[in-house]
Structure 1
Amino acid sequence: MNSLGERLKKARERKLLSQIEVFRMTNINNKTLSRYEKDGTEPDIETLKALSNLYEVSTDFLLGKGSEQIEVEAIPYTVKEWLRADTTGLTIDEQKLLQEDLSDYFEMRRKQIFKRRK
């Protein structure tokens, strides 16, 4: 069975978030988050709730309890690289348009995937 730290890391990666991005969204220090993910320390209940909300998983899942044991696979590194593609040569407006298009697409696909789970 995966540890709490491993489930936290997989859930974060599933959302394509870096530790710095989680810090910006939750004010949980990225070094603290790193310790959670390495099982160096455990989050308190309020922090666990904040992370479960952000990652869209239950606290039971993060704690390894219940029937919600959905498989949370990490996104392959090559896909992460593609998502951070080089936009050299694009104007600022083109970069913004590309970002908006990708954001809309991922949100649409995320909703479709969660709808299938029900």
Structure 2
Amino acid sequence: RTYVRNAYTYHLSEILSTVVNEYTDWERTVVHPINTRDATVAALSDAQYVAPLVLTGDLLSKPPPSVGEHHSTTRSFFYVFDYQTKDGDYPQKLGTAHGEELPYFFGAPLVDG
């Protein structure tokens, strides 16, 4: 509630209802605090991290407006890295942390030592 109240100005009850509906696991009949925590983390991560990344990708892929010139299409990409190494720095229950893909990006798992 507090996040929705602080982040939005209008339609607060509709936004909160939509978020609750989207992040509730309707197949579970018993509400467990761990599940509530996981759903809250997922909702806040999407709001604070994923949504701005998608917006940035959309903005970068639009060609700049120009008069009388042919518009070329700009291509932008983003990826999701959710592989967790067996000897990672974080417990598996926390999932993959930001930046854990960097050794893979630079090829570190492919070399010995």
Please, what TM-score do these two structures have when normalized by structure 1?
A: 0.27
More helix by share: 1
TM-score normalised by length of structure 2: 0.27
Which of the pair has more CA radius of gyration?
A: 2
